[in-house]
């Protein structure tokens, strides 16, 4: 089997480290791994296949002989540096928002639109984490019954923001346990807009003039681009005090009638989806138990009797795995499979 030189830009962040883990777990044929990050990460090491590899400085000239570059270094860095990786002959799979809605850049979820991966001009975009876990569930339903409208409320973990938000949650919990007061009087080194321990808030990314956040608009716009559809998608995105895994309550208006049993059957046969739905035994997806695993877990499948052809779903997935690192590596696997 041919092996490939793979760079990971943003290798010391929570997603970058997960990308390296997934490369190893999946058995991706890596000839050389090149971890890249900013100056503040120089001197750090990453573990890969039992070896410690030193992190190198991410820059315009970092990509000599690199075949695939996985980027998770933020949109501004991707816009600046990714074109140089392409010029060096590599293919960039970018996890930021930099290129997602660019008409010349495919936005890919391999279970949904794998064919789009081969239409790239050097850059392929990885969708937003909350979008990925939703579309792998929507696509098989849409193929079978047609979808008219989607209303989704997300409950997103702090790791979706990054390591600093995870640290903020732990720090706040330490203070609360010490003082036995759920409302903190003072907050230091905050990165989230409010206390997150014992709290939640409907604020992810910045607010736009129409009252939606950019995160909520991403879910609508990215879903339609990925699915090559014109669905009505409206979202409310909420940050919750969970370390890993995003949860979503999804209300779907179908074009034709379907029973919950029919929806379960369709999803049970869908790639990347696992049905967990036995309320009599208290079985349904939960973020604590989805963390570390690959699928989008689906439960609480039921009719919405207030609208024609309405269905409710509860979907949970590890935002660092399928919501980011795993999806990126799966795109890379599509590319190398084409060449074999």
Give, in order, the Cα–Cα distances in Å from 111 to each of 20, 40, 289, 310: 21, 37, 22, 24
Query: CA nearest 138: which of 128, 130, 155, 150?
Result: 150
- As a whole number of angstroms, the distance between CA 284 and CA 236 comes to 22
DSSP label of 243: S
- Residue written as tokens 């179908």? 254
Max CA pair span of the chain = 60
Catalytic residue among 120, 142, 237, 246: 246
3-state secondary structure of 293: coil
Q: What span, in angstroms and rounded, lies between the C-alpha atoms of 13 and 322?
A: 16
For the chain, the straight-line distance linking the first and the last C-alpha, in angstroms and rounded, comes to: 8
For the residues of 123-176, what is the DSSP string, one character each?
EEEPPPHHHHHHHHHHHHHHHHH-EEEEEEEEEE-GGGT-HHHHHHHHHHHHHH
Strand boundaries in the chain, DSSP class E: 4-9, 30-37, 45-48, 51-54, 56-57, 68-71, 91-94, 123-125, 147-156, 232-239, 246-254, 273-275, 296-304, 310-317
Is 203 marked active-site?
no
Catalytically annotated residue among 129, 142, 194, 237: 129
Burial 202-217 (b: 16+ CB within 10 A, else e): eebbeeeeeebbebbb
Q: Is 246 annotated as catalytic?
A: yes
Assign 62 to helix, strand or coil. Answer: coil
CB 220 within 8 A of CB 233: yes
The residues carrying an active-site annotation are 129, 246
């Amino acid at each position: 089997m041919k092996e490939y030189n793979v760079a990971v830009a943003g290798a010391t962040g929570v997603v970058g480290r997960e990308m390296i883990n997934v490369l190893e777990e999946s058995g991706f044929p890596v000839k050389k791994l090149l971890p890249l990050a900013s100056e503040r990460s120089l001197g750090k090491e990453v573990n890969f296949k039992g070896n410690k590899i030193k992190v190198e400085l991410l820059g315009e000239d970092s990509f000599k002989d690199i075949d695939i570059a996985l980027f998770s270094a933020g949109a501004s860095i991707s816009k600046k540096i990714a074109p140089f990786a392409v010029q060096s002959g590599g293919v960039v799979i970018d996890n930021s928002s930099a290129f997602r809605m660019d008409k010349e850049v495919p936005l890919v979820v391999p279970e949904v639109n794998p064919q789009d991966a081969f239409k790239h001009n050097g850059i392929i975009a990885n969708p937003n984490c909350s979008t990925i876990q939703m579309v792998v569930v929507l696509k098989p339903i849409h193929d079978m019954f047609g979808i008219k409208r989607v209303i989704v409320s997300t409950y997103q973990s702090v790791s979706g923001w990054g390591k600093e938000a995870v640290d903020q949650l732990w720090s706040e919990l330490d203070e609360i346990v010490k003082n036995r007061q759920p409302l903190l009087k003072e907050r230091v080194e905050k990165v989230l807009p409010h206390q997150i321990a014992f709290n939640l808030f409907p604020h992810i990314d910045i607010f736009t003039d129409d009252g939606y956040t950019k995160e909520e608009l991403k879910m609508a716009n990215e879903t339609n681009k990925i699915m090559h559809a014109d669905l009505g998608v409206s979202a409310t995105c909420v940050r919750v005090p969970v370390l890993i895994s995003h949860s979503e309550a999804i209300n779907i208006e179908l074009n034709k009638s379907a029973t919950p049993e029919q929806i379960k059957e369709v999803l049970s046969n869908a790639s990347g989806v696992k049905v967990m739905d036995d309320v009599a035994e208290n079985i349904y997806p939960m973020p604590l138990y989805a963390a570390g695993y690959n699928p989008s877990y689906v439960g609480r499948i039921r009719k919405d009797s207030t609208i024609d052809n309405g269905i409710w779903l509860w979907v949970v997935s590890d935002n660092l795995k399928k919501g980011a690192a795993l999806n990126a590596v799966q795109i890379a696997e599509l590319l190398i499979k084409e060449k074999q």
